[in-house]
A and B are shown apart, each in its own frame.
Chain A
Amino acid sequence: MTREIILAIYVVILAIFTGYEVISRVPSILHTPLMSATNAIHGIVLLGAIIVLGAADTTLLRVLGFVAVVLGAANVFGGFVVTDRMLEMFKKKAKEEVK
């Protein structure tokens, strides 16, 4: 057991509770946008792909890293764009309610 492992376990447990608590009162109309947003957030794995490709020094590593970067980038950028489009419609609706 190292100090680093204990610290990592702390981070994981706190993050689990945070992830759970922060969305626990979400109304059902926001389920799809929220799923889409969390889908975009895990696209952050692109960060790992950048580290791998940036340090790649063999052809195989470059290929794996490059494919990973392309897939990850599509996940992040596509994910946030799609979510924004879904939520745009809620905004329109809110405006009309005011009228």
Chain B
Amino acid sequence: MTLAPVESIIEVTYLVAAVLLIVGLKRLSSPATARSGNRLAAVGVLLALLVTLLDQGVVSYAGIIIGVIIGGGIGIVAGRKVQMTAMPQMVGLLNGLGGGTAALVSLAEYMRLARDAPPVGPGESLSVALGTAIGAVSFTGSIIAFAKLQELLSGKPHQFPMQRILNLAFAVAIGVLALLLITGTGGMPALWGIFVLALALGALLVLPIGGGDMPVVISTLNALTGMAAAFTGFVLHNQMLVVAGILVGASGTLLTILMGRAMNRSLANVMFGAFGATSTAAAGAEGGIPRTVRQTTAEDTAIALAYARNVVIVPGYGLAVAEGQHAVRELSQELEKRGVDVKFAIHPVAGRMPGHMNVLLAEANIPYDQLLEMEQVNGNFGNTDVVLVVGANDVVNPAAREDPTSPIYGMPILDVDKARNVIVLKRSMGHGFAGIDNALFYRDRTRMLFGDAKRSLTELVEALKTV
């Protein structure tokens, strides 16, 4: 089978682009080469997009150019402007847009095939059904995840009776419609049905999941969008889409597994466990025992820090929200001037995504050798004078180690409760994203410093200067 010259150019360029994507991904898995890896992948995608304009099926360019300028413009401006702290939801939102694209492409291509080349074969129909359903689920699921992280929706699990039964009913209905489509009896009405039901299912699946699990959810939806893209590739007989989509599907699935492992939660548990649902019962049971927290002031905390030999700072999402990364660097420098050994302990899932805290602290120019991972630091908390918890909650909750009824039981945590003193900077006594109570706050060695993380840190720096 010989290809026409134009087709040869397209196919060979696709091959080059696929190699660029693979090399790019490889380079992305090491810090030194990551940036160049991302750029290689971008070049690969751009090459593939440009050469696609030569496709003989493409006859009008005006709409494409206008659409790319509008969409690309929005993407680039939003990507440049978004705060470092809002990165997780940004990734979630962009992922949803990709899912929407895959669903619309599948829909439109089936519409054209059914008109120009009926009957549509079972293979194509299956790919169309899967591309539409997965893309649509990813679209609404990602939008809900975005809304939760952006706090447009509460991060708590939204639950209502019969939820699982309803989800199951939707999934079964989608399956039946897909079957009708494949056997050639459903046609466009069945496909529209799949589209609408899958949109609803995406929202229903993510609504009951607590905010603490959003990283895993976004990673899962990311892998799903990759698969949806691959299915559009099957429909369009486009090798590039298949390869790129499957690459993302596979690497995204592995990433999801790695993240889940860091949180000690399986995917099934995340999707159906409804974090926080069981904890309301647990909190109610403990509610009978009066427990008190001990408050402290910035001045007292400054003194404790100034006379410590070593201090470990545990950053969490509260630091990101308050944009306190520069204030925490100042504090760390002020302490080091006084000869205090300062380290940062990074829980793998502190913040809203793995690596979130590393990126944030790097932005504030905190030296790399001051950042310790959980495994490096956990054995040393017994010898630590003061632990300063800044806006972290669930990742330092000793219930994960001690209370088998806790929904986070078994999750690896930073054992800060073993340190001589623990000072927790926190906005209020509100619950963490997992929506559960934290036993650490009631310990004898724990003091609470309430307030916005950035303001508290600035006050601490001021107080330190006068000590």
Contacts and interface: CB of A to CB of B under 8 A. Distances in A.
Interface string B15-48: 0000001101110111110110111011001001
A56 B107 CA distance: 13
A44 B49 contact: yes
Interface stretch (B218-226, B332-340, B429-437): B218-226
Interface in A50-81: 50-56, 60-62, 64-81
A94 interface: yes
B205 interface: no
B267 to A, nearest CB: 15
B240 interface: yes
A47 B28 contact: no
B61 A78 contact: no
A31 B259 CA distance: 8
Interface residues on A, range: 35 or more
Interface string A9-31: 00110011111101111111111
B76 A49 contact: no
A35 B233 contact: no
Question: Is chain A's binding surface mostly helix, strand, loop or mixed?
Answer: helix
Interface centre among B34, B95, B244, B249 (most CB of A within 10 A): B34
A36 B348 CA distance: 17
Given A12-B242, A78-B76, A30 B34 contact: yes
Contact of A53 (B64, B72, B259, B359): B64
Contacts of B368: 93-94, 96-97
Contacts of A11: 239, 242-243, 246
Contacts of A83: 38
Given A41-B244, A48-B229, A28 B348 contact: yes
B97 A72 contact: yes
B366 to A, nearest CB: 8
Interface string B55-85: 1011111011011111111111011101010
Nearest to A69: B67
A54 B243 contact: no
Contact of A52 (B61, B105, B229, B259): B105
B53 interface: yes
Contacts of A37: 24-25, 28, 37-38, 41
Contacts of A51: 52, 55, 57-58, 236, 238
Given A48-B238, A52-B109, A96-B365, 10 more contacts: A15-B247, A32-B88, A35-B218, A40-B45, A42-B226, A50-B64, A53-B60, A68-B108, A76-B72, A92-B362
16 contacts: A16-B246, A23-B251, A30-B29, A34-B251, A36-B87, A45-B225, A47-B49, A47-B241, A49-B105, A62-B63, A70-B71, A71-B97, A73-B71, A78-B78, A82-B91, A83-B38
Q: Which 6 A-B pairs have the closest CB atoms?
A: A78-B75, A54-B58, A73-B71, A19-B250, A81-B79, A69-B67
